[in-house]
Amino acid sequence: MTPDHLVALLCPPLHNPRRRRGGNMAPEKSATVPQFLRGAELVKQGAEARVYRTQFLGRPTIVKERFSKRYRHVALDEKLTRRRTVQEVRSILRCRRAGIPAPAVYFVDYTSHCIFLEEILRSSTVRDHIASTQQSASCTVQELDRDQDRELVQEQELEQLAQQVGQILAKMHDEDVIHGDLTTSNMLLRRSPEDRGSDLVLIDFGLSYISALPEDKGVDLYVLEKAFLSTHPHTEALFQKLLKSYSASSKKSSAVLKKLDEVRLRGRKRSMVG
């Protein structure tokens, strides 16, 4: 990001060019790309947001830009987009205050709905990590005894990871933060600089909110369970390890796990009825 980009960001024009005079539909997606993001590397184009990699005040930065939806009324769109941005920032800050690993928030621009986040370097998603571990384990299944040892080590590593996830989610729920979109893609595994270990960082709090209700926490875990088991086949035992660790780490786990059982039952009934 150049100084010109920073000026454009910090001193946006008084007239908001994103709003069409007289019209109430939001403008085209392409018209909304803020000037300061031109030249930034597009990491991901999602349905709700674009994620860019750039530099901000000399630091490696991820910018999450929530764009307008053309089909929504402009005022409603503005309100919803702003609310999601506020929620995401609020939950990240709440997590970080409680020592739950989430990227630092460097800057928020509510005009363009951009959140500037610390880029988690040397990281990969938990999804990719589990998938590659499972793949390498299955490749070696017909090989020698030493490969069986390796497989055991990999299994233990995955169990440790599941325990780590359980602990972090317990801590997050004890802070009454509901993530709203728990998947293994929304957890990053950051390797230490000397490659001596790794720690977990939670990302993508766009659907998060604050709630003390065991029901909301149970649903949060249910969303993760569904995503986990469908993304990573044959991991039922691993997911149980995650829940066990959640249960051991959270002060309020019994009510939450009871709700999780109820939500599962409701889910099963719904799929039986069709």
Ligand X SMILES: Nc1ncnc2c1ncn2[C@@H]1O[C@H](COP(=O)(O)OP(=O)(O)OP(=O)(O)O)[C@@H](O)[C@H]1O
> Which residues are known to be catalytic?
181
Q: Which two tokens stand for residue 232?
A: 């990573």
What's the CA dihedral at 128, 253, 257, 184 to 10 degrees?
A: -10
By C-beta, is 167 or 186 nearer to ligand X? 186
Q: Which of 83, 45, 80 is nearest to 65 (CA)?
A: 45
Burial category of 178 from C-beta neighbours within 10 Å (exposed 0-12, middle 13-18, buried 19 and up): buried
User: Helix/strand/coil (H, E, C) string of 91-138?
Assistant: HHHHHHHCCCCCCCEEEEECCCCEEEEECCCCEEEHHHHHHHHHHHHH
Q: How far is the CB of 115 from ligand X (least distance, A)?
A: 9
**Which residues lie near ligand X (CB under 6 A)?**
43-44, 46, 49, 51, 62, 64, 103, 117-120, 123, 125, 181, 185-186, 203-204, 206
By C-beta, is 140 or 185 nearer to ligand X? 185
Q: How far is the CB of 105 from ligand X (least distance, A)?
A: 10
The residue number whose beta carbon is nearest to ligand X equals 46
Q: How far is the CB of 146 from ligand X (least distance, A)?
A: 34
By C-beta, is 60 or 267 nearer to ligand X? 60
Q: How far is the CB of 54 from ligand X (least distance, A)?
A: 12
Q: What is the CA radius of gyration of the chain?
A: 21
By C-beta, is 26 or 187 nearer to ligand X? 187
Q: Which two tokens stand for residue 192?
A: 């230490």
